[in-house]
Structure 1
Amino acid sequence: MSVQGVDVLVVGAGVVGRSVAFALASAEPAVRVVLAGASGGAAASGAAGAMLGALGEVTDLATRTRHGRLRTELALAAAVRWPAWREHVRARAGKGAGAPPMDGYGTGTFVILNAVSSPLDDASFTAIAQVAAEYGRGCQEADPSDIPGHRPLDNDRALRACYLPEEGFLDARAWLAALDAALAALPNVIRAPAGPLAALPTGAYLLDTPAGAFRAPRAVVAAGAWTTPLLDALDPDLPVVPVLSTAGTALTVTGLQPLPAVIRTPNRAYACGLHTVPQADGSRYIGATAQPCLTPTSHPAAGALRSLLDAALGQLDHHLATAAVTHTHHGNRPISLDGHPVIGPTPKDGLWVASGTHRDGLHASPLIATALAEALLAPEGTAAALPDPLTAFAPTRPLIADLPAKEAAAEAAAHHAALTAEARTRPPLTGAWPRMLADAYQDLMNHAYAAMPDGYIPPPDLAPLAYEESGPALAELAAAHLGRHRAHFG
C-alpha cells in the first residue's frame, strides 16, 4: 500500500474540522494538511441554524455554575473573532468554484419570553440581560408587537422581548460552501473521504481512505458525534470523555417576507431555543428539536417534526402555515458525557480532539480553529497550551459536575416541566394533580440519577437517556469511562 506523508491529519469535515484545516493551511503554506470526512450526511454543521449567539445562548444555569460561565466567556471570545475570521475565509474563497456570492451574515437577535413557557424561561430571560450588563454588551427591552415577522397565535404570544443588536447570524449552508471554496484555494490542503485512523508504532498516525492512505505525526479528531467510535478503534484505553449525540431537526421555508433579524426563545434542554434565522436567499430557517441519543441517528423522527411545526406556527409566525417547506434538516450535535466541549491534546503524542461542542460548534469554530492551529504550529519542544477558557475542557479531564446529584436532578425536572408547559399539558384541576406532575418528574429524575455510577452526574440535556430504556447503557458507558480514567491517572 502506497502511503503519502503529510504534516497534519484532520479527521472530520464538519465546520470545526474544516475550520481547523483552513486555519492550519492558511497560516503556514509549507504545512500539508489532509481533511478527511464526508461533507454531508447527518452531521450537525449542515443542519445548523448558525446563530452566532453569545448572549442568546445564556441560561440561568450557566450564570450559576463555574463551567457555565466559562462557556459564556468562550462564546463571547468567539464573537469577537468572527468579523476578521469571516473576511479571511471569504478573501481566500474569492470567486472560486462553489464560493457563494452571499453567506447570509447579519446582526440582530430578538429574544422572546412567551406565554407557553415556565419559570425556567423567566430566569434565563433575566440572565441574558444580567450577563449583557456585566460584559458591556447591547441588550435593549423591545415591544413584542414591533418585532418584524413575529406573528404568534394569541395563546402563545410573547409577554416580553429584548433585542441584542450585536448578535450575529449566518446561513450555515452558504458558510460551509465558502469554507469549501477557501480550502480548495489552498494548494497544501488535500480533501479525502472518511476512513479509519490508526496509531503507528513509530508514533505517527495512519489514515486509510478510499482515496489513499496518509501518514502524519499529528492528528486532530473533529468528527462530531462520531468522535468516540473513531477514538475507541484507535485506542480503547484512551481516557477521553465520550461524545454522544443530540439529534436535531429543522426546516427551511419560503413564501414569506425575508426577516431582518433572528427571533428566538431562551435556551433549555430538549428544545435548544425555538428560533428562526434569515437565510442568504431570503428564505427562513426554523429550528430546532433536540433528542439525546447514545449514537447518531440518520433521519428526523415524526414527533420531532410535529413538535417543531406546532411550536413555530404558534410561537413565531402563524403565517408559516402557508409557507413552502423546501428542506428538512437533520443533524447530530456532538454532546459529551458531561455536557461540555472536549478540546485539546490527549495523552497520545500528537493526537488532539476538537468535539463535544453541542450547540456552539459553528459559533466557536474561529476560536477553536485558531487556538489549535497556533498550538500545532508552535516550534517543536514548546508547550502546546490552549488559551483560557479552553483549558477547562481538556479531553481527559475529570467529568465535570457543577451541581450535586440532587440539585442536578431538580434542574432536569425543571426542564421537563418547561417542555410540558410548551406542549400545553393541562393536568386535572382537582386535588393535588398539578403538584403531583411536578413531583412525578422529580421522583423520576431522582431514581434515574441514583442509578448512575458514582462520579457521574448527567447534565439536563442527557437526562432522558438516564430514565429511558437507554439508562443501563448510559450507566455502563459512564462506568467504563470512569474506569479508564482511574486506570490512567490513578
Structure 2
Amino acid sequence: METVTKSFDVLVVGNGVLGLSLGLTMARRGQQVAVLGEAHRPYAATTAAGAMLGCFGEVTAATLASESGRAKLELDFQATGKWDTWIADLAEDAGEEAADAVRTATGTIVLHNTIGVPEIDDAGMAAIRQAMDLYGAPYEQIAPETLDWLDPQPTARPLDALHIPGEHGVNSGALLAGLQQALVRRGGTMIAQSARKVLTTASGALRGVELADGTALMGDHVVLAAGVGSQKLLDTVPQAAAGIPRIVSGLGVSALLSTGHCAAPAPTSVVRTPNRAFACGLHLVPRGASTVYVGATNTMRPHPGDLPTVRGLQFLLDCVVRQLRRDLWFSGIAKVQVGNRPVSLDGFPLLGETQLEGLWTMTGTYRDGLHMSPLLAEKMTEWILDRKVPAELELFRPVRAPLSVMSREETIRYAVVHRLATGHEWDWSLPVEWPGVMEELFELSYRQHADDIATDFTPPPDLLAFVPAFPELGTMLKEYYAAVRGSFG
C-alpha cells in the first residue's frame, strides 16, 4: 500500500549542481521545496567536474554557425555574468567560509600547442577570438614562454596562448556543499533517496514521485534535474517522454594530482586547450596550494558507468605530463573520478515543461550544466512559478524537432577529424601514409552508420563517432527519429 509522507510545492529530482541550485532559488521564493537524491550521487557529472566557468573557452568553429549553437553560447555568456552575485548570495545563505571555498581559479589560459590538428585547433582558436570580439569580451594574446609553470615536452610545446580574464574555475565539491547548506538554511528539504517513478492519477495528471523505498511524495511540480539519471524517470511516464530526445552518458575520467614536489608552484588560473577529440580539451584547474584537477576524457555511452577505464585514465595522464608539465609524472594520484555528462540525442539541453503538465526537465546540458547553473536556476524558477517562458530557453524546450549545427557532410568530416585527433593526442607512431588510409576508413564507417540510422536526420558528430563501438546508440537514434518524424520530419 502506498504511503504518502508529505506534499511539497516543488519536488526537484537530482541533488547535483542543477538540482540544488534550482531548489535554492525556489526556497528563496518561499516555496516548500524538496531536493531528492542519494548522498553519494551515483553517476553524477558534478562530482567529477573540473568546474571551469568557461564560455568562450568552449567555443568551436561550429558554435557560431547555427541558431542553436549561437543560442547556447548566449546562455553561457549570460551565465558568466551571474557568478559573482551567485557566490556573494551563497555567502549570505551558507556563510562566508562556505562561499570562500568555492572559487579556486582566476582567469583562463587557452593553449594552442603542437599536438593539435589544424582543422580543429587553428579553427578553434580563431573561433574563440571571433566570439569574444563579437561580445566585446576582454582577452589578451600572450607568449607561452612567459607561463612559468608550463613545462611540456618539446614536441608538445605551445605555439600561442590566450588569456581570458573573465573565465574562472570553482571547486565542485565545495560548491555542492555550500548549495546544500544554503538550501537547508532557507527552509528547503533534502531527502537522501532517489526517485524511481513519476506518479500520475487515473486520469493521467501529475501527482508526485515514488521514492526507492516505496514512499510517495506529492508535488505540484516535479523537475527532473538528475542528469543522465533523469531518463529512467521519464521512461515511467511514456506519454511525457514522447518526442523528447533520450539522454545518454558522456562518460569522463578525471584525477586530482599532488604538486608539492613540482619545481614551480601550481598556476592560479585554469589552463586548457581548445575543445578537441570529442572532449572539452585537456584542462587543469588548481584545487588549493598543492593539488590540481586534471581532465577530462569523453566517451559517449548508452548508459552511465561508475568505473574509470584503463584506456581513459592512461590517455588522460599521458596527455597531462606531455602537454602541460613533465614533472607531474612523479605526482601522487590523490583521487580518480568518473562522471556522466547528460547528453541528449541531439546534443542540446532539455529545458522546460513536458507534455505532462507540471513535469519539467532541466538536464541534457552536456558540458555546460555547472557553468550555466545560476542562470538556469533563475530562469526555470521564473518559468515554473510565474509561467513566464524565458526567450533564451524557448529553443531548448524538451519536445522539439531535433536540433542540428551541421550538414551531414560536415558532421561526418567533424567525426573523422576528431577521431584522428585522438590518435595524435595519444602520440601515435605510424607510417606516414597510414593516417590518410584510416581517414578514408573512418569516413566510410561513419557515412554508413549515418545512412543506416536515418536519411532525413543526422546525429551530432560526438554521438555518431561512438555508434560503431556502442550499436545501442544507433538503435536509440533510429527510434527517436522514427518517433518525431511524423511531427517534425
TM-score, normalising length: structure 1: 0.93
For the 8 Å contact 2:353–2:359, the answer to whether it is kept is: yes
Q: Given the alignment, which residue of 256, 279, 302 partners 1:252?
A: 256
Instruction: Give the partner amino acid of 2:320.
Output: A
DSSP 3-state at the match of 1:126: helix
The equivalent of 2:396 in structure 1 is: 393
Instruction: Give the partner amino acid of 2:335.
Output: H
For the 8 Å contact 1:171–1:280, the answer to whether it is kept is: no
For the 8 Å contact 1:23–1:373, the answer to whether it is kept is: yes
For the 8 Å contact 1:456–1:478, the answer to whether it is kept is: no
The equivalent of 1:171 in structure 2 is: 171
Question: Which string of whole-angstrom CA distances, capped at 9 and with x for unpartnered residues, describes residues 58-100 of structure 1?
Answer: 111112222222221111011011111111122100169xx47
For the 8 Å contact 1:192–1:211, the answer to whether it is kept is: no
DSSP 3-state at the match of 2:164: strand
The equivalent of 1:65 in structure 2 is: 66
- Write the distance in 2 (CA, Å) between the matches of 1:433 and 1:280: 44
Instruction: Give the partner amino acid of 1:476.
Output: T
Instruction: Give the partner amino acid of 1:387.
Output: A
The equivalent of 1:314 in structure 2 is: 322
DSSP 3-state at the match of 1:72: helix
The equivalent of 1:124 in structure 2 is: 124
DSSP 3-state at the match of 1:71: helix
* CA gap 1:284/1:102 in 2 versus in 1, 3 angstroms: same
Mapped pair 1:291 → 2:299: yes
The equivalent of 1:355 in structure 2 is: 363
- Write the distance in 1 (CA, Å) between the matches of 2:314 and 2:85: 39
Instruction: Give the partner amino acid of 2:5.
Output: V
For the 8 Å contact 2:198–2:233, the answer to whether it is kept is: no
DSSP 3-state at the match of 1:467: coil
- Write the distance in 2 (CA, Å) between the matches of 1:424 and 1:439: 20
The equivalent of 1:56 in structure 2 is: 57
Instruction: Give the partner amino acid of 1:243.
Output: I
DSSP 3-state at the match of 2:362: strand
Distance apart, 1:168 and its partner CA: 1.4
The equivalent of 1:11 in structure 2 is: 13
The equivalent of 1:407 in structure 2 is: 410
More displaced 10-residue stretch of structure 1: 269-278 or 211-220? 211-220
For the 8 Å contact 1:100–1:177, the answer to whether it is kept is: no
The equivalent of 2:206 in structure 1 is: 204
Matches within 5 A, 1:27-66: 28-29=29-30, 31-39=31-39, 40-66=41-67
DSSP 3-state at the match of 2:285: strand
The equivalent of 2:154 in structure 1 is: 154
- Write the distance in 2 (CA, Å) between the matches of 1:192 and 1:386: 31
- Write the distance in 2 (CA, Å) between the matches of 1:82 and 1:487: 42
DSSP 3-state at the match of 1:187: coil
* CA gap 1:228/1:42 in 2 versus in 1, 3 angstroms: closer
Distance apart, 1:122 and its partner CA: 1.0
Distance apart, 1:101 and its partner CA: 4.9
The equivalent of 2:353 in structure 1 is: 345
DSSP 3-state at the match of 2:278: coil
- Write the distance in 2 (CA, Å) between the matches of 1:196 and 1:434: 47
Distance apart, 1:334 and its partner CA: 0.5
Instruction: Give the partner amino acid of 2:276.
Output: R
For the 8 Å contact 2:12–2:222, the answer to whether it is kept is: yes
DSSP 3-state at the match of 2:15: coil
- Write the distance in 2 (CA, Å) between the matches of 1:484 and 1:458: 15
For the 8 Å contact 2:419–2:465, the answer to whether it is kept is: no
Instruction: Give the partner amino acid of 1:309.
Output: L
For the 8 Å contact 1:344–1:386, the answer to whether it is kept is: no
DSSP 3-state at the match of 1:239: coil
For the 8 Å contact 1:10–1:34, the answer to whether it is kept is: yes
Mapped pair 1:267 → 2:275: yes
The equivalent of 1:230 in structure 2 is: 233
Aligned residues: 477
Mapped pair 1:368 → 2:369: no
For the 8 Å contact 2:420–2:435, the answer to whether it is kept is: no
For the 8 Å contact 2:254–2:338, the answer to whether it is kept is: yes
Question: Which string of whole-angstrom CA distances, capped at 9 and with x for unpartnered residues, describes residues 16-66 of structure 1?
Answer: 11111111111x22x111101124323100000010011100111112222
For the 8 Å contact 1:34–1:192, the answer to whether it is kept is: no
More displaced 10-residue stretch of structure 1: 450-459 or 119-128? 450-459
Distance apart, 1:476 and its partner CA: 2.3
Instruction: Give the partner amino acid of 1:117.
Output: G
- Write the distance in 2 (CA, Å) between the matches of 1:260 and 1:148: 12
More displaced 10-residue stretch of structure 1: 459-468 or 140-149? 459-468
Distance apart, 1:268 and its partner CA: 2.2
Identity of aligned residues (%): 31
TM-score, normalising length: structure 2: 0.93
Question: Which string of whole-angstrom CA distances, capped at 9 and with x for unpartnered residues, describes residues 130-187 of structure 1?
Answer: 1111111112111111124211111111111111111111111111111111112122
The alignment yields a C-alpha RMSD, in angstroms, of: 2.0
DSSP 3-state at the match of 1:7: strand
Distance apart, 1:228 and its partner CA: 1.5
Instruction: Give the partner amino acid of 1:113.
Output: H
Distance apart, 1:428 and its partner CA: 1.5
DSSP 3-state at the match of 2:244: coil
Where structure 2 has 5 or more consecutive residues not aligned to the other structure, the ranges are none
Distance apart, 1:261 and its partner CA: 0.6
For the 8 Å contact 1:110–1:147, the answer to whether it is kept is: no
Distance apart, 1:487 and its partner CA: 6.4
Distance apart, 1:280 and its partner CA: 4.0
The equivalent of 2:103 in structure 1 is: 104
For the 8 Å contact 2:199–2:210, the answer to whether it is kept is: no
- Write the distance in 2 (CA, Å) between the matches of 1:351 and 1:246: 25
* CA gap 1:135/1:489 in 2 versus in 1, 3 angstroms: closer
DSSP 3-state at the match of 1:395: coil
